[in-house]
Structure 1
Amino acid sequence: MSNVNLIIEERAAKIGDFLVGRLLPFRKKRMVGPFIFIDHMGPVMLNERQNFDVLPHPHIGISTLTFLFEGNIMHRDSIGSEVEIKPGAVNWMTAGKGIVHSERTPEYLRNKEVLMHGLQIWVALPKHLEQMEPQFSHVEAKDIPSWKEENLEFKLIAGEVLGRKSPVDVFSNLYMIEIKSTAKQEVNLGDQLFGESGIYILEGSLSTSENTFSPKQILVSDNCSLCSFTMEEDTTIYIFGGEAFPEKRYIDWNFVSSEREVIEQAKADWEAQNFDKIKGEEDEFVPYPTRKSN
């Protein structure tokens, strides 16, 4: 793993009243494969006077992947989906030409202490699917492919790799793998990965003959060869990546597209409230921010 091209440190960012650790995009690396945005939420203990409330807001041009380690989130969207996200499940919402969703503490957990911890990820869509009809899928934790090899525990959160396929409905060649170590263990994935690849270290550490790497870092390679390293005991990592798209992607707030004109139209539509609304949440929304976008 001597060919690490870039190390990205987690940076503090604020979403509403909630502090997160931003990993992607990064000024020197906007995407890893089709992965264009990664936030590490928490861990944070919300007291009985706090709730996780992200009001209705729009997306275009991406699929969102929510993966919780702790806590619960109620997802609602403008195509009628209403699902409680629990730890280990995969919430996969495809915005396509446009969708609106909200994320909140479920009613039965409001006014209680709740630990929140997880990953919020955006995966860009291929150019020919950026304007597809919005879709939603939810895969429970028990249905995510899981297996053990020596002192390692694997989960294939999304994509197809390592001879297995996740049931999550992805739209490009990608992968996201969780690996947990129960004891010090060498990991050698050989040539099974493809495209660009990154490793996010959630806890513990991993090392090569040259370096040791710590939590809250992404290690990036542009030739999928992050495949041989040693994980220390009680380490958790996420390997993600896949085939990069030939076209550049632009980001403006929650809007992603290969064409700036599409983003400008989405901005105008949101400011005019022309997006479909979430049933029961018609009067709530997050306004388009006045800050400079990426």
Structure 2
Amino acid sequence: MIEQIVTPVAHDLGQFEVRRAIPSKARSMVGPFVFVDQFGPAQLDIGSGMDVRPHPHINLATVTWLFDGAIDHRDSLGSYATIRPGQVNLMTAGRGIVHSERSPAAERAEGPRLYGMQTWLALPEASEEIDPAFEAVRDLPVLEADGAHATVIMGELWGKRAQTTTYAATINADIVLKAGGRIPIDAEADERAVMLVGGEASIDGTSLGLYELTILKPGEQLLLTSGSGGRVMLMGGEAFTDRRHVWWNFVSSNRDRIQQAKEDWREGRFPQVPGDDEEFIPLPEVPKTVSYP
């Protein structure tokens, strides 16, 4: 039923916490997911906000999903989108992209709320150097049954498929359970994990720990339930046979490619972000995120 439980590392960013489950010493990937961050819930001070300055990515796709609040996304393709609950933003880095993430001005005036997930998907080796791309998808399929409201963010679940682009077999869903709610967790994916992000829930009778990444055994259909109500993220998909190197914001099957990306960022060879090109995050000496197979 449960293969592994990963307790995330919490990073205090002042007015809110970010909890990073993978990569970690315990686990480096779940399906194509190579990075799992959960942040909030938080109410920031009036006039303040989240400001993630322009920074680069390669050979991955980022998935941003909010439960509450809003984030302005800008990237070096010229894309601009305000992420809100119910909309998934998929940014494909491919051979290289730069983006920033900031609280919108209207949110700052009222005190921004932040509560959501950002995950990274490793691209299959043959797709790592594709052209960068961005999409914001709002029309996502929803399942309503037995006190459960499940939004399919990526891939196919419960017979419903999201139109969000996938590069490898991927599943991702946001499941909200009312008191007494229940929903089956499909068994088809090679690797699956759930994270309780609010309230309480159990998987086949075993209670889930808040913010813990619970890796499920493959091949078993399981039942997710809640006695008093809860919210659970489901993620996973195709198991990668070739593992990934992760250093800071760079992910690749080739360690030399990461060295090249580090040098390119240091020397200013990545493109700039239109409308947000006056500052950037420098290459760190010692990054918080490192994982080598």
Same fold (TM > 0.5): yes
The residue correspondences of 1:1-294 to structure 2 (distance < 5 A) are: 3-13=1-11, 19-140=17-138, 143-189=139-185, 191=187, 193-207=188-202, 211-225=206-220, 227-291=222-286, 293-294=290-291
Q: CA deviation at 1:157?
A: 0.9
CA distance in 1, matches of 2:182, 2:102: 40
- Identify if the C-alpha distance between structure 1 residues 244 and 260 changes in structure 2 by more than 3 Å, giving closer, same or farther: same
Q: CA deviation at 1:246?
A: 1.2
SS in 2 for 1:268: helix
Q: Which has the larger displacement, 204-213 or 122-131?
A: 204-213
Q: CA deviation at 1:213?
A: 2.2
Length-normalised TM-score, structure 2: 0.93
CA distance in 1, matches of 2:67, 2:224: 24
Q: CA deviation at 1:18?
A: 5.4
- Identify if the C-alpha distance between structure 1 residues 153 and 280 changes in structure 2 by more than 3 Å, giving closer, same or farther: closer
Note the aligned Cα RMSD (angstroms).
1.9
SS in 1 for 2:229: coil
Q: CA deviation at 1:255?
A: 0.1
Q: List alignment gaps of at least 5 residues for structure 1.
A: none
Cα deviations across residues 92-144 of structure 1 (Å, max 9, x unaligned)?
Answer: 0000010000001112333431211110110110000000000000012xx11
Does the 8 Å contact 1:36/1:122 carry over to 2? yes
Q: CA deviation at 1:49?
A: 3.5
Length-normalised TM-score, structure 1: 0.92
CA distance in 1, matches of 2:203, 2:142: 26
Q: CA deviation at 1:21?
A: 1.0
Q: CA deviation at 1:233?
A: 2.7
CA distance in 1, matches of 2:127, 2:203: 39
SS in 2 for 1:287: coil
CA distance in 2, matches of 1:212, 1:189: 15
- Identify if the C-alpha distance between structure 1 residues 253 and 224 changes in structure 2 by more than 3 Å, giving closer, same or farther: farther
- Identify if the C-alpha distance between structure 1 residues 16 and 66 changes in structure 2 by more than 3 Å, giving closer, same or farther: farther
Give the partner amino acid of 1:151: G
CA distance in 1, matches of 2:202, 2:244: 33
SS in 1 for 2:2: coil
Give the partner amino acid of 2:240: F
Does the 8 Å contact 1:153/1:179 carry over to 2? yes
